[in-house]
């Protein structure tokens, strides 16, 4: 199934204003079995393939077989051993070209060619006409062929699914290509064999480490995805996740790494090159010692493939190769066939299985194998040791694993974190981490567990329509959450679930519904991430509600039955639709669930509750009012740089976002903790926008006073038993969390404050401890309840639910700061019994209590807590790191982060906080720690950098400094010197990481982030060279991506030198991981320009801290304000972006070069075309370039030398003959006329008697030699004294002075005849 960075192609589903596509008709055949073979050439990065397809005809008139095939060069095709009559192959990749004169304004012309390719089902590119001698013959029902057809019909390529009612209640018929269950194939199967070549691969397959100079181990793998057309990039087939049949796979590879070059030498010697004997660029004809180390050349090449290993052969004619064969007995889609080839080390992960589980599962135990590149086997064991436990849990809870084993293969340059295929998962090497690293533990475990659960929901069961993809992703992530709860604990699971729900409330504004996310073409990565976030949470609240309705695990039963139906064939081809899922849930819970799915799946948004409560003493009831305010408080989502590109594309595609739902309905659990400590639950059914409740009161005890509780804690601390006294006084004993630091000395030492007498009196009058809304987490919502602080404190200290504790901490984090709140938070931080996430949240909230009004009590409590936990007694110097206690490690990370948030009234971090942060980083000691501290050091570096502020010590015109009145130049730790020492310490760690790299260069990544932030805040000058050094090939990919992110954040897209470089990387970088991530950064950069997010964060209006800003009240800022408001909408932001970049010729050229690059795949091409469509208007044009004739020119070089040359110079047309000047009558005594000085004397010699094609004897002919060709002497009668114009037209024999002449030269005995086109000056 799709991954976070891999967009999913949705069908052309019916969206508003877009009709449904026509359903493909019956093609006349089905595929029963397919055999695929590859000969992998690492040296030339190409494949020679063949495939044999068993065709089961369903129509006796079948004469053509239509298949999907892309980027293949078909060389031979036979049907039953006979050459096909005709082969029509239309390779779509060859269409992705446009005329050379095209510019970025012709993007729509290229887009039309691309849109015809991305369909579901995809168009057929390969059409094979059956030979005349091949007939569709009926089969004997008792023959072997007929029996084979019968056994394979269940694996047919139909697209049908059980007819299930959709959201409107009507039945959805199966597609016409579906294969009915009772269909019998009465015809003899055909065997189709196709041989082909794959060169210049753009999609489907990736070679790594095969370039000269690349020191990585050479390996290759398939880049599968559920995209229509993704599988046919490797072999001709019927492409689509709905097509299923059995498989055989043969892969021919070099035996060892050293044989990669030997095979190339053999082919050159035998003339058997796959390109007709022509060597291609990059072919290594002899061993390259610079690429691989000598001892590595003997490493065996291993093939990892979907299915089971059958055989391994060594061809006698090619001793440097081997053939590895696999069989996939389970019918799977072509997209779920994956292959990886390389010098992998095999690790048997089943050795980590518990003996108890192995005995319980017995034959159902699944072998788990891991494959990694040499030297990473220890990291593989540490990263994947939980996988046997995970697969055992999934098998026991949700059903049988249909494949024989489960394999994980870790490779380089993978564009996404994981790629899921049948029984095989390709994983990125970046997921591996050693045992000394603890920070990636949760994230990596969750990602790998999802890749396992996707074998059930994603490979075995697939969405019927792309709008149903939320069901598949939701089930897989929900199953992942169930295992994570077992592995990590209930508190960890519920805390992160609450965090996810909060994140949904931040994002689910102005978005399409969960179901409508599949209408987009394609599903953008951000939309896919939103589905992964919301879908499992929706299923979780569904599980809670179904549990209350039936008191059983309904959702577990539904999911288990779904997979069982897929295995048994009841769920045809494993197609799951939303309507079918709803029907299963209703059938197992015996309840109508239409309102739930209409609100949370087909509808968008979330409810916002305002809760009011009061206790009625007369009636002894609690009066409550619950109001839904999402309709009246609906906030318009502003355009942000991260979401700009998605919002802009949604606008261009006319994606309609539904209105906010005014009312959400359903049950809500209200839990009232009364004075005796007993919780009383009340389930309320919310049906209207405002619900009024009267909840009865049950207990007879009064609420305990704080003084009584303090006595109990003090007595408990002194070891005194007061239970007898408590029984005599009829009091209730309550022991709770957060009851630390209660002694008088501790209270004085920690500067703690308790409740005032007025608060104690109010507490005594309360009849219950606290009220908990939505106690069972059945809603994705925001809740605002008006209960006082002491009730939230009781909830924090007495409620065992981590979500209740988190809600209390969030209340104190947003309440008005006070010393009492700081005391509550520090007691929470110091109590080790709390879940570590609650302690971290308390530490972060303490920074708000560090204010001048409170005498920096929050900062004091944070320093005191850090000193107590992590420093030597009575000293501020931290002890040597010890990360064996992970809860303490997370708290140790949180306190410096919280300290870095402290600000004074000027918005500047105080100097004593900066000095403390600097000392913690300086004195960090990890020499005695068994764990690596790279993440901790990176966190300290970020925290220290966050305390820095722009330095502006130039005296202002008023003669005083607003920042620090106590500034002293001679102080050893004055602000300026602290600033310099902090920068020096950060740069020191950055240099250390260059010489001794940390895990995945974590410290260097943090340093780049810090440098970028300092430049944005005006602390340092912008220096692009600092980041450019990290963008070069050969650097770790994640570090390269971080450098590009920093460049984009520093406004590199406005730089005329950097913007083309970024576009070049998008279009030509060899790493697909880098290309995808830089694309994402490019989209964010466009969003920054569109919304105007280019100003320094902490220096508004360009002023540094402490500088006075004088605004002119008379200035008219309405225009600028109007522009700023317009940029908050997507239309205004898009208009601002076009205005800014549409005329940038450099960006135009660079973006277009990246678009027409031959190295990018379809998804990357679509992204670039979307950018072009947003920035530039479409212009249909075609500039035709015609060949100009060559012209011979002559130049006189001097000394009788003539230089003749051919050229494309534009010849001058001979001007029209001018009107001859009038004849002038002169008296006999007049002086003779002189020729003009500017006119040359031209010699015309024509021995053939023609001048310019006119016979010399014609009547109008003139003398062939004229010394004054521009003047004609015409005599008239003596009586005419004035000039009279000549009425005779000029003849061709007397051309105008500047007309071309024909010269015939005789040189020696040889005649050289040249036709010279002269411009009047050549001679």
CA angle (787 as vertex; 783, 791 as ends), nearest 5: 110
Calculate the alpha carbon distances from 1243 to 1221, 1246, 1268, 1295, 1300 in Å.
Answer: 22, 10, 11, 13, 12
pLDDT along the chain (1323 residues), means of 10: 48 36 62 95 93 92 92 93 91 85 89 81 88 86 55 41 40 35 67 94 92 90 82 90 92 93 46 34 38 73 95 91 95 94 96 80 86 96 95 93 95 94 96 96 96 95 92 96 95 96 92 85 83 96 90 90 92 92 93 94 93 87 91 79 89 82 92 84 92 83 48 50 46 66 91 89 84 93 92 92 95 94 95 96 95 93 95 91 95 96 91 93 94 96 91 44 46 76 94 94 96 92 94 93 96 93 95 95 94 55 47 57 74 90 91 93 92 92 77 85 80 63 56 50 48 44 43 41 44 48 49 42 39
Structure tokens at 1053: 């897209």
Q: Which residue has the tokens 């957060």?
A: 738
Q: Round to whole Å and give the CA distance between 428 and 1071.
A: 13
Q: Are 1134 and 651 in contact (CB under 8 A)?
A: yes
Q: How far apart are CA 67 and CA 235, in angstroms?
A: 10
Do residues 557 and 51 make contact, with C-beta atoms less than 8 angstroms apart?
no
Per-position b or e across 267-290, b if 16+ CB within 10 A of its CB: beeeeebbeeeeeeeebbeebeee
Q: Which residue has the tokens 């520090």?
A: 826
C-alpha 333/C-alpha 355 separation (Å) is: 35
Instruction: For residue 94, give every residue at least 6 positions away whose Cβ sits within 8 Å of its Cβ, in sequence order, or none.
Output: none
Rounded to 5 degrees, φ, ψ at 1079 are: -60, -45
Rounded to whole angstroms, how far apart are CA atoms 263 and 269? 10
The per-residue pLDDT for 1211 is: 57
Q: Which residues contact 1080 (CB under 8 A, 6 or more apart)?
A: 5, 525
Q: Are strands 219-222 and 424-428 parallel, antiparallel or unpaired?
A: unpaired
Token representation of residue 36: 């695929």
The DSSP 8-state label assigned to residue 1242 in this structure reads -
pTM equals 0.83
At residue 235, the pLDDT reads 94
Number of alpha carbons in the 13 Å side-chain half-sphere of residue 224: 27
Q: Do 149 and 185 meet the contact criterion of CB atoms below 8 Å apart?
A: yes
From the list 1075, 1086, 1099, 1014, the residue with the least C-alpha distance to 1052 is 1086
Provide the pLDDT for residue 1212.
58
| pLDDT for 1075 | 95
The Cα–Cα gap between 738 and 428 comes to: 43
Decide: 648 and 1130 in contact? Cβ < 8 Å. Answer: yes
The packing angle between helices 525-550 and 578-589, to 10°, is 20
Distance between first and last Cα of the chain: 78
């Amino acid at each position: 199934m799709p991954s976070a960075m891999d967009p999913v192609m949705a069908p052309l589903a019916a969206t508003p204003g877009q009709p449904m596509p026509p359903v493909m008709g019956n093609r006349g055949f089905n595929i029963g079995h397919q055999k695929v073979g590859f000969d992998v050439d690492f040296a030339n990065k190409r494949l020679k393939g063949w495939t044999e397809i068993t065709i089961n005809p369903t129509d006796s008139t079948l004469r053509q077989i239509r298949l999907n095939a892309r980027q293949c060069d078909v060389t031979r095709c036979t049907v039953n051993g006979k050459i096909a009559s005709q082969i029509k192959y239309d390779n779509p990749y060859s269409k992705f070209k446009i005329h050379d004169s095209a510019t970025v304004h012709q993007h729509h012309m290229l887009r039309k060619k691309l849109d015809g390719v991305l369909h579901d089902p995809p168009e057929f590119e390969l059409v094979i006409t059956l030979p005349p001698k091949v007939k569709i013959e009926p089969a004997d029902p008792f023959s072997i062929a007929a029996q084979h057809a019968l056994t394979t019909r269940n694996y047919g390529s139909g697209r049908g699914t059980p007819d299930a009612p959709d959201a409107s209640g009507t039945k959805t018929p199966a597609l016409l290509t579906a294969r009915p269950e009772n269909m019998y194939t009465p015809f003899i199967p055909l065997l189709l064999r196709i041989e082909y070549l794959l060169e210049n691969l753009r999609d489907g397959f990736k070679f790594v480490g095969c370039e000269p100079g690349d020191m990585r181990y050479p390996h290759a793998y398939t880049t599968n995805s559920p995209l229509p057309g993704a599988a046919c990039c490797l072999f001709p087939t019927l492409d689509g996740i709905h097509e299923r049949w059995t498989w055989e796979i043969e892969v021919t590879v070099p035996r060892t790494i050293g044989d990669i070059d030997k095979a190339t030498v053999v082919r050159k010697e035998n003339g058997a090159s796959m390109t007709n004997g022509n060597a291609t660029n990059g072919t290594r004809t002899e061993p390259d010692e610079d690429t691989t180390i000598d001892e590595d050349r003997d490493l065996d090449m291993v093939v990892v493939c979907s299915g089971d290993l059958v055989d391994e052969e060594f061809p006698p004619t090619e001793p440097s190769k081997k053939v590895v064969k696999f069989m996939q007995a389970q019918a799977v889609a072509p997209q779920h066939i994956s292959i990886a080839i390389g010098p992998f080390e095999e690790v048997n992960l089943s050795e980590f299985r518990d003996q108890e589980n192995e005995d319980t599962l017995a034959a159902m135990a699944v072998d788990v194998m891991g494959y990694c590149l040499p030297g990473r086997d220890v990291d593989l064991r540490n990263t994947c040791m939980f996988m046997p436990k995970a697969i055992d849990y999934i098998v026991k809870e949700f059903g049988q694993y249909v494949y024989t084993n489960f394999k994980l293969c870790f490779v380089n340059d993978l564009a996404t974190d994981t790629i899921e295929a049948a029984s095989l998962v390709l994983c990125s090497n970046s997921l591996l981490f050693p045992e000394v690293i603890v920070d990636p533990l949760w994230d990596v475990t969750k990602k790998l567990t999802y890749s396992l659960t996707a074998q059930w929901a994603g490979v075995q069961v697939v969405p019927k329509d792309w709008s149903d993809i939320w069901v598949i992703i939701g089930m897989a992530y929900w199953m992942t959450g169930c295992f994570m709860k077992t592995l990590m604990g209930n508190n960890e699971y519920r805390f992160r679930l609450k965090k996810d729900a909060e994140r949904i409330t931040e994002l689910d504004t102005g978005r399409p519904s969960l179901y409508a996310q599949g209408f987009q073409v394609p599903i953008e990565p951000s939309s896919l991430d939103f589905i992964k976030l919301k879908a499992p949470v929706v299923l979780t609240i569904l599980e809670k509600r179904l549990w209350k309705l039936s008191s059983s695990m309904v959702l577990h039963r539904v999911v288990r039955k779904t997979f069982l139906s897929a295995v048994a064939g009841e769920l045809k081809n494993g197609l799951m639709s939303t309507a079918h899922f709803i029907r299963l849930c209703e059938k197992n819970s015996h309840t109508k669930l239409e309102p739930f799915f209409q609100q949370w799946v087909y509808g968008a948004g979330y409810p916002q509750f305002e809760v009011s409560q009061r206790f009625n003493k007369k009636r002894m009831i609690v009066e409550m009012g619950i109001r839904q305010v999402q309709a009246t408080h609906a906030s318009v989502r502003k355009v942000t740089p991260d979401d700009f590109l998605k919002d802009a594309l949604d606008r261009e595609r006319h994606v309609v976002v539904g209105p906010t739902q005014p009312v959400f309905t359903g049950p809500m659990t209200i839990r009232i903790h009364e004075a005796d400590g007993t919780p009383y639950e009340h389930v309320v059914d919310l049906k209207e926008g405002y619900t009024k409740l009267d909840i009865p009161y049950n207990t007879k005890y009064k609420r305990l006073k704080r003084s009584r509780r303090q006595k109990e804690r003090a007595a408990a601390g002194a070891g005194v038993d007061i239970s007898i006294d408590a029984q005599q006084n009829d009091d209730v004993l309550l022991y709770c969390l957060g009851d630390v630091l209660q002694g008088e000395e501790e209270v004085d030492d920690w500067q703690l404050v308790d409740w005032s007498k007025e608060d104690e009196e109010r507490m005594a009058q309360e009849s219950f401890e606290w009220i908990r809304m939505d106690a069972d987490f059945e809603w994705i919502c925001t809740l605002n309840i008006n209960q006082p602080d002491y009730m939230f404190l009781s909830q924090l200290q007495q409620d065992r639910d981590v979500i209740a504790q988190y809600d209390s901490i969030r209340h104190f984090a947003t309440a008005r700061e006070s010393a009492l709140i700081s005391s509550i938070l520090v007691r929470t931080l110091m109590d080790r019994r709390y879940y570590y996430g609650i302690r971290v949240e308390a530490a972060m909230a303490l920074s708000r209590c560090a204010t001048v009004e409170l005498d920096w009590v929050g900062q004091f409590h944070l320093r005191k807590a850090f000193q107590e936990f992590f420093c030597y007694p009575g000293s501020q110097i931290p002890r040597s790191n010890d990360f064996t206690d992970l809860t303490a490690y997370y708290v140790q990370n949180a306190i410096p982060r919280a300290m870095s948030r402290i600000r004074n009234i000027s918005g500047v971090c105080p100097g004593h906080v900066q000095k403390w942060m600097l000392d913690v980083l300086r004195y960090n000691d990890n020499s005695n720690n068994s764990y690596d501290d790279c993440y901790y050091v990176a966190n300290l570096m970020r925290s220290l950098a966050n305390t820095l502020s722009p330095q502006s010590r130039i005296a202002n015109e008023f003669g005083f400094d607003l920042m620090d009145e106590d500034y002293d130049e001679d102080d050893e730790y004055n602000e300026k010197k602290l600033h310099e020492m902090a920068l020096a310490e950060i740069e020191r760690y950055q240099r250390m990481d260059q010489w001794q790299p940390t895990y995945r260069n974590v410290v260097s990544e943090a340093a780049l982030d810090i440098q970028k932030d300092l430049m944005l805040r005006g602390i340092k000058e912008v220096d692009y060279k600092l980041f450019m050094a990290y963008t070069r090939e050969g650097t770790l990919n994640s570090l390269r991506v971080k450098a590009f992110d920093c460049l984009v954040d520093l406004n590199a897209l406005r730089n005329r030198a950097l913007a083309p470089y970024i576009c070049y990387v998008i279009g030509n970088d060899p790493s697909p991981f880098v290309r995808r991530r830089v694309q994402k950064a490019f989209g964010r950069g466009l969003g920054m320009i569109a919304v105007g997010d280019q100003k320094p964060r902490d220096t508004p209006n360009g002023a540094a801290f402490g500088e006075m800003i004088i605004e002119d009240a008379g200035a008219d800022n309405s225009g600028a304000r109007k522009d700023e408001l317009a940029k908050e909408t997507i239309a205004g932001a898009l208009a601002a972006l076009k205005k800014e970049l549409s005329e940038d010729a450099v960006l135009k050229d660079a973006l277009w070069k990246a678009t027409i690059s031959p190295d990018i795949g379809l998804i990357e091409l679509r992204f670039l075309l979307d950018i072009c469509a947003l920035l530039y208007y479409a212009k249909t044009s075609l500039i035709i370039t015609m060949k100009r004739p060559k012209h011979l020119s002559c130049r006189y070089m001097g000394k009788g030398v003539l230089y003749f040359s051919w050229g494309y110079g534009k010849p001058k047309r001979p001007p029209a003959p001018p009107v001859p000047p009038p004849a002038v009558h002169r008296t006999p005594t007049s002086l003779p006329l002189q020729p003009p000085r500017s006119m040359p004397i031209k010699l015309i010699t024509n021995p053939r008697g023609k001048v310019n094609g006119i016979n010399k004897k014609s009547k109008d002919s003139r003398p062939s030699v004229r010394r004054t060709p521009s003047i004609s002497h015409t005599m008239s009668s003596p009586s005419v004294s004035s000039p009279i114009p000549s009425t005779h037209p000029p003849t061709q024999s007397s051309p105008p002075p500047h007309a071309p002449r024909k010269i015939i030269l005789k040189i020696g005995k040889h005649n050289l005849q040249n036709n010279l086109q002269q411009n009047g000056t050549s001679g």
